[in-house]
Amino acid sequence: MTGASGHGPASLGADDRQRLEADRVTPQAAPVHGGSLRRRVLVWLLPPLAVLLLINAFFTHRSALDAVNQAYDRTLSASVRAIGERTHSLAGQIQVDIPYAAFEGFEADAAERIFHAVFDPAGGLVTGYADLRPPALPADDGSVRIFDLPYAGETVRLAAMRKRLYDPALRGGDAVLIVFAETTGARRALAHDLFVASLQRQSLLVAVGAILVLAALGTAFRPLLRVRDHMRTRDEEDLTPVRMERVPSEIAPLIDAINHHMERLSAMLAARRRFLADAAHQIRTPLAVLTTQAEYGLRQRDPDEMLETFTSLLRSTRATRRLADQMLTLSRAEAVNGLIGERATLDLAGLVKDVAMDLAPLALKRDIDLAYEGIGHALNMEGNAPMLREMVSNLIDNAIRYSPPDSAVTVAVAAFGADALVSVCDQGPGIPAAERERVFQRFYRILGHGDSDGSGLGLAIVREIALAHGGRVTLRDGAQGHGLCVEVELPLGAAASF
């Protein structure tokens, strides 16, 4: 297979490196506070309490009015009965002697107006106010009925009773109607006073309750404040888990989340320290070689010798640059660093084909036949396109570098159910079964195999990117036991999250 000009097979671009550095140094935005939790609790607690207070006030007012009516109605009923006791009939003549006791209970309140009337069995007025009639007649068994009705421009409370006189001479029966009414101003005033007093007590209870709630919230939040103080006084490098002794069950999930985050930070910092240690160890030797070659070249006077020295210097510089690029790629591919989390829908088959086209010139330069076997249609998945490109580029680049001239490298993409399979097979020396697990270690190289410019990071990068996408890498023998086949299985659904 032939293709257009390519790029460095296992390197990060300038934009990627700048973004990586920006991710490391960009300060975090100032925290946005969601308001006081105490205030939020009070906002959710006090309005319902106010509504309940209003509902209770309505029923309290009704209860106060009912209680006042019951007290006043006793006096009203007693007045009607007192008039009834002094009402008699003789030979058809009804006599009413209204006693002083009927008005005694109302004299203390001069503001109220009193009305009374007595009607004969035929409905005629015997004494009192002729238009003072109840809306319905009570039974003639001597029971008293109470009514509220408008009268003389005011609302009155009226008590009505029918009393049998047992006088055959009476026309229309022998039961007279006795009514006694009182204006309700005093009742309403007393009910209002009782209502206001009750409402004041209830409002005081709500206010005291709010204060107690604030005090309870202060006590309830003390464990959170202790956690805050503990975290503030910690050393910046102390990422040990927060102890969960005497922690309320409501706060335990928060502490568990903090500990989980600290574990992730510890893993990330360990990865960073590992990267720095690897970089310091691996870059030291190439830099020493570059320095020695440059110093040697400066001492030369023969142009041919100088050209050979600087050619070697250029080759070492390229190898060192490739090593640095691969180390940055490996650091970015590690899931604990969180730099590979950006995902988007991509065509895996198209991506693999594009990478193979980019590396075709390198294959032609080494007299290697680079073949691509696709599936003929798009193979969509969720993934990080730059990292997957690096993974495929490392696979194909390694296969080309470790294959002898006049051999073949086959790149294939297939789909099996919910998984995709990317395989790269070569006809090189292969990897012994005993070494296949160790080649995924960083900087591990099998002596005497392939390109001396290799850094031992290619397969480590491949595995990190595959794992970050929820996949796995398998090594097996090539066709007829010759060469090596590297197979990467990737899920086509949602990639693993970290």
For residues 183 and 78, what is the distance between their CA atoms, to the nearest angstrom? 16
3 state SS of 303? helix
Which DSSP string do the residues of 314-371 spell out, in sequence order?
HHHHHHHHHHHHHHHHHHHH-GGGTTT---EEEEHHHHHHHHHHHTHHHHHHTTEEEE
Q: What is the pLDDT of residue 295?
A: 80
What would the two tokens of residue 405 be? Answer: 């001239």
Token pair 């691969």: residue: 326
**pLDDT tens string for the chain (498 positions)?**
443 333 333 333 444 444 444 444 444 444 455 567 777 777 787 788 888 888 988 888 888 888 888 888 888 888 888 888 888 888 888 888 888 777 766 655 556 788 989 998 888 898 989 899 999 988 888 889 999 999 988 889 999 999 888 888 787 777 889 999 988 888 888 888 888 988 888 888 888 888 888 888 778 778 778 887 888 888 877 778 887 777 777 778 888 888 888 887 777 777 677 766 666 656 666 677 778 878 877 777 778 777 887 787 787 777 777 667 666 666 666 654 555 567 788 899 999 999 999 989 989 998 999 999 888 788 898 888 888 888 888 889 888 888 889 899 999 999 888 889 999 998 888 787 777 777 776 665 654 454 545 556 667 778 888 888 888 888 888 877 788 898 999 998 644 333
Which DSSP string do the residues of 123-174 spell out, in sequence order?
S-EEEE-TT---SSPPPTTS-EEEEEEEETTEEEEEEEEEEE---TTSTT-S
Provide the phi-psi class of 90: left if phi over 0, else alpha when psi is between -120 and 50, else beta.
beta
What would the two tokens of residue 245 be? Answer: 């002794």
What would the two tokens of residue 390 be? Answer: 């690096």
Q: Exposed, middle or buried by CB within 10 Å (0-12, 13-18, 19+), for 14? A: exposed
Q: At what angle do helices 222-232 and 252-299 cross, to 10 degrees?
A: 10
Residues constituting the chain: 498
Give the number of other Cβ atoms within 10 Å of residue 447's Cβ: 4
Q: What is the pLDDT of residue 150?
A: 92
Provide the phi-psi class of 480: left if phi over 0, else alpha when psi is between -120 and 50, else beta.
left
Q: Which residues contact 229 (CB under 8 A, 6 or more apart)?
A: none
For residues 122 and 140, what is the distance between their CA atoms, to the nearest angstrom? 14
Q: What is the pLDDT of residue 323?
A: 67
For residues 326 and 203, what is the distance between their CA atoms, to the nearest angstrom? 72
For residues 165 and 84, what is the distance between their CA atoms, to the nearest angstrom? 10
Tell how strand 344-347 and strand 380-383 pair up: antiparallel
Count the alpha carbons within 13 Å of 307 in the hemisphere toward its beta carbon: 3
Q: Exposed, middle or buried by CB within 10 Å (0-12, 13-18, 19+), for 439? A: buried
3 state SS of 3? coil
Token pair 């003389």: residue: 152
Q: Which long-range contacts (CB under 8 A, 24 or more apart) does 261-268 make?
A: 263/239, 264/336, 265/239, 266/239, 267/336, 268/336, 268/337, 268/338
Identify the sign of the CA torsion 367, 373, 377, 379: negative
For residues 176 and 181, what is the distance between their CA atoms, to the nearest angstrom? 17
Q: What is the pLDDT of residue 474?
A: 87
Q: What is the pLDDT of residue 285?
A: 64
Among residues 316, 312, 486, which one has the least CA distance to residue 392?
486
Q: Exposed, middle or buried by CB within 10 Å (0-12, 13-18, 19+), for 486? A: buried
Radius of gyration (Cα) for the chain, nearest Å?
50
The neighbouring-strand residues paired with 346 are: 381
Give the number of other Cβ atoms within 10 Å of residue 192's Cβ: 14
Burial 302-331 (b: 16+ CB within 10 A, else e): eeeeeeebbeebeebbebbebbbbbbbbbb
